[in-house]
Structure 1
């Protein structure tokens, strides 16, 4: 390796390592801060927090790498320009392309590393972190319950309360519990002014202790009429204190918080696994559409509509079918058609959410598949933006390069997220949604590289105004003529 290449790589690697670690630290702390409300003061062990930070770090590395490459490339080339080293290299016959070649090769290698992380480490960390949350909620069930809405995390029960407070947030206000364990609807209802949740370490039961409430239970609920149901046996009572246990299953031993092996989302799968899953989802979606279409076809009696041979057509009949009937028959036919049409529209509306969800799941997997490849190339794309940008501004340090890097990455990340959202909603194809940020950024990278190679600024106002000025000079008469 030549001395120049070593120097250029050193100029890049020193700020790259610093910026990468800083960005990684900031993003990990941001993730921890977002989760802090759910884990602070809940008796969560240090082991949990350390594992959470470890998996979060692995998940954020693919996002921090492109930012580090972008910022360090601006800083490295900016420092060379600011110290006139870039001008000295050009005077010695070293072009910009030759100067940044070692950094470009390194950026390609970092893109390859980013792809390996996205395809192998990222799914692993995502799966482990999700299971970490699921298991900590199983060990601390009170964490899984959210105030203000019905909670169905505990099988067989619907639990709602207005507020959760206390040091361990296990004290409740205005409690409403539906016991659905009998599989016969809301036969058992419990309400209370207040209550608390008690769970002993290692126990498979969660204990509810409720205060000042009511208990109601219907013992039988098989009669069809309201009158008969009212005559059936039921019991109700008020209480000052009521205690009952809910079986929440076996808890996990300490140190096995992330032991469950559940991978149900595309972020938890490798590219090969996503590729194997997509055909199954598409087959399932096609079957749903086919079933819905078949139901509509049958309910509208469309199979009874068929063409008669010309020899069997009654020429005396009016071509407008409805005009062949009397007034009362027309009313009956139209009412029947309206009822069936209303029923079909109602069926379509009822199935619309289900169909949209199935389609969205297919799009979700498709988008994740293409985005893994597209985002892994972000190191190369952002390098070819950062390197010429640094050589143009000729300013090193963390000031201006940091501002430019943030602006470029926010634009890149925003278009990437915007494209993914459009693809998930079927507004555009999954491939276009995943590659839209690259499609927008690559021309910008080419423009910057071209202007940096020709030693021009980002925007030369004269180059835009001169053709306009020359045009008006030609068409406007000169003074004195």
Structure 2
């Protein structure tokens, strides 16, 4: 390796290591801050928290690597330009392409590392982290209750309250509870001004003690019509104190926190596993659509109707089909049409949510497959933006390069997330949604690389302003003449 290559690599790697570690630390702390409420105060040992952070670090690494490459490339090339080392290299007959050649090879290597992480380490880390997080959350379910929104973590109940306070965070204000344990809907409603949660280590129950509240329950019978249920009695009461227990044995597991019960998430699979799973999901989805279409076709007797209409000869009939039937037959035909249309509409509405959910699940897997490949090239794409940008602005350090790097990566990350969301909602194809960020960024990279190679600025303002200046000069010169 030549001395020049070693110097260029050193100029790049020193800021890269620093920026990569800083970005990685910030992103990991952001995830920890978001999950802190569900981890703190649950008696979880410090080694398990470190293990959670370790898996989080592995998940964040493929995202931090492109930011490090982008920022360090701007800083490294900016420092070379600021210290007039570019000018010295050009005077010695060394082009910009020759200077950045070792960095291009290094960035290709980083892209390969990123791909290996996304394909092998990332699925493993997501599998371990998600299961560890869920197991920690189950250890003390009462601590997972969040004020201000309905909590459905406790089986058979939906609980909402405005504030949680006290030394043990077990005192509640303005409590609203829907008892769904009877699987009949929210027929039992409890409200209280204050409440208290008692949860003992190892117990299969959580005890709620409510004060100054109301109790209301409707007594309905299964198998009866809605009209009869309207006349069924209801009970209500005002209480000073009301106590009841919730069985949490189905969700509270005091066993091994390393259990991996959840393994079917699309982020937990490698590319080969995704490639094997997607055809199966597509086959199931197509089969469901075909079956629903056949059922709808049969329920409205569309085949018989088609044959009937096809057998009629327009020359023998009134253009208004109903006018060819007697009044009694007209009524029967219209009633039958309304019934079949209502049945078809009801069938479509009943199946719409299920089909949308199945399609969205398929989109998750499909988008994840293409996004793994597209995102692994982000190091290379962002380098060809950062390197020419650094050589153009000729500013090193953490000032302007940091601002430019953040702006570029936010644009890249936003467009990538926006494309994924559109693909998951079936607005665009999964392939386009995964590659839309690259489609936006590659032309910018080509433009900046060409302008840096020709030693031009980002924008040639003279090309815009000079024709305007010439126009006014000619106009005023004619007036003076």
TM-score range, shorter chain: 0.7 to 0.9
1:154 to partner: Cα distance: 3.1
The CA distance in 2 between the partners of 1:310 and 1:430, in whole Å, is 42
Unaligned runs of 5+ residues in structure 2 are none
Per mean C-alpha deviation after superposition, the further-off stretch among 371-380 and 442-451 is 442-451
Q: Counterpart of 1:208 in 2: which secondary structure?
A: strand
The CA distance in 1 between the partners of 2:413 and 2:222, in whole Å, is 57
State the Cα RMSD in Å. Answer: 3.6
The CA distance in 1 between the partners of 2:405 and 2:28, in whole Å, is 19
Question: Per-residue displacement from partner, 1:181-208 (whole Å, max 9, x unpaired)?
Answer: 5556667766655432222223333333
The CA distance in 1 between the partners of 2:251 and 2:320, in whole Å, is 70
Equivalent residue, structure 1, for 2:338:
338
**Would you say the 8 A contact 1:204–1:247 is kept in 2?**
yes
1:144 equivalent to 2:167? Answer: no
**Would you say the 8 A contact 2:216–2:234 is kept in 1?**
no
The CA distance in 1 between the partners of 2:6 and 2:37, in whole Å, is 47
| TM-score when normalising by structure 1 | 0.87
Q: Counterpart of 2:62 in 1: which secondary structure?
A: helix
Structure 1 pair 148–24 and aligned structure 2 pair: CA distance change class (3 A): closer
Structure 1 pair 471–341 and aligned structure 2 pair: CA distance change class (3 A): farther
Equivalent residue, structure 2, for 1:446:
446
1:108 to partner: Cα distance: 0.6
Equivalent residue, structure 1, for 2:267:
267
1:293 to partner: Cα distance: 1.6
The CA distance in 2 between the partners of 1:378 and 1:227, in whole Å, is 64
The CA distance in 1 between the partners of 2:264 and 2:387, in whole Å, is 40
**Would you say the 8 A contact 1:413–1:437 is kept in 2?**
yes
1:300 equivalent to 2:300? Answer: yes
1:251 to partner: Cα distance: 5.0
Per mean C-alpha deviation after superposition, the further-off stretch among 183-192 and 162-171 is 183-192
The CA distance in 2 between the partners of 1:85 and 1:92, in whole Å, is 11
Alignment of 1:391-410 (within 5 A): 391-410=391-410
The CA distance in 2 between the partners of 1:31 and 1:446, in whole Å, is 35
Equivalent residue, structure 2, for 1:171:
171
The CA distance in 1 between the partners of 2:334 and 2:223, in whole Å, is 38
1:376 to partner: Cα distance: 0.7
Equivalent residue, structure 2, for 1:54:
54
1:345 to partner: Cα distance: 2.6
Equivalent residue, structure 1, for 2:89:
89
Equivalent residue, structure 1, for 2:459:
459
**Would you say the 8 A contact 2:159–2:175 is kept in 1?**
yes
The CA distance in 2 between the partners of 1:108 and 1:428, in whole Å, is 30
**Would you say the 8 A contact 2:141–2:153 is kept in 1?**
no
Structure 1 pair 325–128 and aligned structure 2 pair: CA distance change class (3 A): same
**Would you say the 8 A contact 2:15–2:76 is kept in 1?**
yes
Figure out how many residues of one structure are paired with residues of the other and give that number.
480
Q: Counterpart of 1:71 in 2: which secondary structure?
A: helix
1:11 to partner: Cα distance: 0.4
Q: Counterpart of 1:450 in 2: which secondary structure?
A: helix
Equivalent residue, structure 1, for 2:133:
133
1:448 to partner: Cα distance: 1.3
Q: Counterpart of 2:307 in 1: which secondary structure?
A: coil
1:103 to partner: Cα distance: 0.9
Per mean C-alpha deviation after superposition, the further-off stretch among 211-220 and 41-50 is 211-220
Question: Per-residue displacement from partner, 1:327-373 (whole Å, max 9, x unpaired)?
Answer: 45434433442343234234323432322222222111111110111
1:58 to partner: Cα distance: 1.5
Equivalent residue, structure 2, for 1:415:
415
The CA distance in 2 between the partners of 1:174 and 1:479, in whole Å, is 81
1:361 equivalent to 2:361? Answer: yes
Alignment of 1:13-162 (within 5 A): 13-40=13-40, 45-162=45-162
Equivalent residue, structure 2, for 1:433:
433
The CA distance in 1 between the partners of 2:38 and 2:175, in whole Å, is 21
Q: Counterpart of 1:90 in 2: which secondary structure?
A: helix
Question: Per-residue displacement from partner, 1:35-54 (whole Å, max 9, x unpaired)?
Answer: 33444556554344323322
The CA distance in 1 between the partners of 2:412 and 2:52, in whole Å, is 28
The CA distance in 1 between the partners of 2:464 and 2:238, in whole Å, is 85
1:415 to partner: Cα distance: 1.2
Equivalent residue, structure 1, for 2:424:
424
Equivalent residue, structure 2, for 1:203:
203
The CA distance in 2 between the partners of 1:440 and 1:127, in whole Å, is 32
Question: Per-residue displacement from partner, 1:434-480 (whole Å, max 9, x unpaired)?
Answer: 11111111111111111111111111223455678899999999899
Q: Counterpart of 2:264 in 1: which secondary structure?
A: coil
Question: Per-residue displacement from partner, 1:388-418 (whole Å, max 9, x unpaired)?
Answer: 1111111111111111111211111111111
The CA distance in 2 between the partners of 1:55 and 1:70, in whole Å, is 24
Q: Counterpart of 1:164 in 2: which secondary structure?
A: strand
Per mean C-alpha deviation after superposition, the further-off stretch among 352-361 and 418-427 is 352-361
Question: Per-residue displacement from partner, 1:82-140 (whole Å, max 9, x unpaired)?
Answer: 11111111111211111111111111111111111111222222222222221122111
Q: Counterpart of 1:196 in 2: which secondary structure?
A: strand
The CA distance in 2 between the partners of 1:293 and 1:463, in whole Å, is 61
Question: Per-residue displacement from partner, 1:224-269 (whole Å, max 9, x unpaired)?
Answer: 3676997899998967342435142485558x42422412321222
**Would you say the 8 A contact 2:157–2:178 is kept in 1?**
yes
**Would you say the 8 A contact 2:211–2:239 is kept in 1?**
no
